[in-house]
Amino acid sequence: MRKTAILGIGQTKIDEHWDLSLREIGGNAAFAAMQDAGLEKVDSLFVGNMLSSTISGQNQLGTFFSDWIGLWGQEAVKVEAACASGAAALRSALMAVASGDIDSALVVGVEKMTDKAGRDVTSALATASDADYELEQGISFVGINALVMRRYMHEFGWKHEDFAPFSINAHANAMHNPFARLHQKINIKQFENSSMVATPINLMDASPTGDGAAAVVIVPADRVASVKGKPRITVAASASATDSIAVHSRKDPMFLSAAYTSSKKAYEMAGVTRDDIDVFELHDAFSIMAALSLEACGFAERGKGVRLGLENEISRNGRLPICTRGGLKARGHPVGATGVYQVVEIAQQLRGECGETQVDGAKIGMAQNIGGSGATILTHILKAE
């Protein structure tokens, strides 16, 4: 199996892009990544996207984008795994390059969500849950997460305000990320007093959706040298695991077994332990998910994930900096694009390009992307070499 590396990265600002179409948003990130990689052509294109068929009436996004960005004739495909579509597309690309059948791949995670009314987007997002046994009962995606959060608070004795540090940290970091959706610092009072979405999840627990795209260029690692003093970014691990699609089918709805399995595989593959991770971009779609991810990946004991926030371990200078570019909470969550944003951000940290939110001496970074309510989880570990 060939070792792979990230040769180029690109991203667009996450926003309500009324002036840009689906193809322009994805194209802009793709062009940025190709330019960063110094390439004019790649062998193949892997697109991560969840909602274009429902929201934009457009399927076959692989070819849709290979056509638009000038990769005429080249192989192209779309990969979908709900909100984990971005990382799933990346993993498909990594295996394709690792197989030797393809020598270079462009991965684009893209989502255009604001072309429909909010209620239509809520319905579209609910297709990530079990249509027959969850969606059909009328529960929304945030509703499912709210049930899990309430149970967690009850079981482990945490109050709503104990989750505040996750959102405060994310918003503070996003202030220094020009691509972030929200540039607005928040305090605990604002966290507690914001509008309720699905109790106990309020607006400050929930990540904003949006239009956006991120892209990376993947090549065999032996074709990459460190350039201009920037380290070579290699892919040390790529792992994917699943759980039941419906939350009610799980023995313990508060344990992200797919995060546990995929992070365990990833640590082994990369030859590291959790203590070696310098920076972690986790999937804080809701504040409860930050706590559950930290626990499943071994950074906190069961029921104690919120402590890392309360003890200030998650900020830039803490033991485990997370959401350093704003996370889903403040960078934004254009669902099928998110997994690629996370990997772009880890690459930025390892290159030392993060300015005010740079983690000093970051050499090993992890990104974890979650589809559905913990149903599909991918973990990637990158190394600066």
Catalytic residues: 83, 333
- Do 97 and 218 contact (CB within 8 A), yes or no? yes
Cis? peptide before 200, omega within 30° of 0: yes
Taking the CA atoms of residue 373, residue 374, residue 377 and residue 380 in that order, the dihedral angle to the nearest 10 degrees is 100
Stretch that binds its own copies, among 76-84, 202-210, 218-226, 313-321 (CB under 8 A): 76-84
How many CA atoms lie less than 13 Å away from 156 in the CB half-sphere? 24
- Report the residue number, 56 or 358, with the smaller CB distance to its own copies: 56
Residue 137 in contact with its own copies, rule: CB under 8 A: no
Report d(CA 384, CA 382) in Å as an integer. Answer: 7
- Report the residue number, 10 or 62, with the smaller CB distance to its own copies: 62
- Do 201 and 148 contact (CB within 8 A), yes or no? no
Residue 72 in contact with its own copies, rule: CB under 8 A: yes
Report d(CA 10, CA 136) in Å as an integer. Answer: 38
- Report the residue number, 75 or 162, with the smaller CB distance to its own copies: 75
Total site size for its own copies, rule CB under 8 A = 67
Stretch that binds its own copies, among 88-96, 156-164, 173-181, 226-234 (CB under 8 A): 88-96
Burial of 363 from C-beta contacts in 10 A (0-12 / 13-18 / 19+) = middle
Stretch that binds its own copies, among 61-69, 153-161, 287-295, 314-322 (CB under 8 A): 61-69
What mask, x for binding its own copies by CB under 8 A, covers residues 251 to 290?
A: ------xx--x-----------------------------
Task: Please select the residue that binds its own copies; options are 186, 241, 340, 366, rule is CB under 8 A.
Answer: 241
What mask, x for binding its own copies by CB under 8 A, covers residues 2 to 41?
A: x------------------x-x------------------
CA neighbor of 382 nearest in space, from 359, 369, 364, 362: 364
CB of 276 to its own copies, least distance (A): 21
**C-alpha 194 chain-centroid distance:** 24
Report d(CA 180, CA 160) in Å as an integer. Answer: 25
CA neighbor of 244 nearest in space, from 144, 335, 94, 338: 144
What one-letter code names the amino acid at 352?
Answer: G
- Report the residue number, 262 or 358, with the smaller CB distance to its own copies: 262
Report d(CA 147, CA 141) in Å as an integer. Answer: 10
What one-letter code names the amino acid at 18?
Answer: W
- Report the residue number, 130 or 281, with the smaller CB distance to its own copies: 130
Annotate 162-172 with b (16+ C-beta within 10 A) or e (fewer): bbbbbbbbbbb
What mask, x for binding its own copies by CB under 8 A, covers residues 35 to 54?
A: ---------------xx-xx
CB of 71 to its own copies, least distance (A): 8
Residue 376 in contact with its own copies, rule: CB under 8 A: yes
| Chain residues that interact with its own copies, rule: CB under 8 A | 1-2, 21, 23, 50-51, 53-54, 56-64, 66-67, 71-82, 88, 91-92, 95-96, 98-102, 123-124, 126-128, 130-132, 135, 238-246, 249, 257-258, 261, 371-372, 375-376
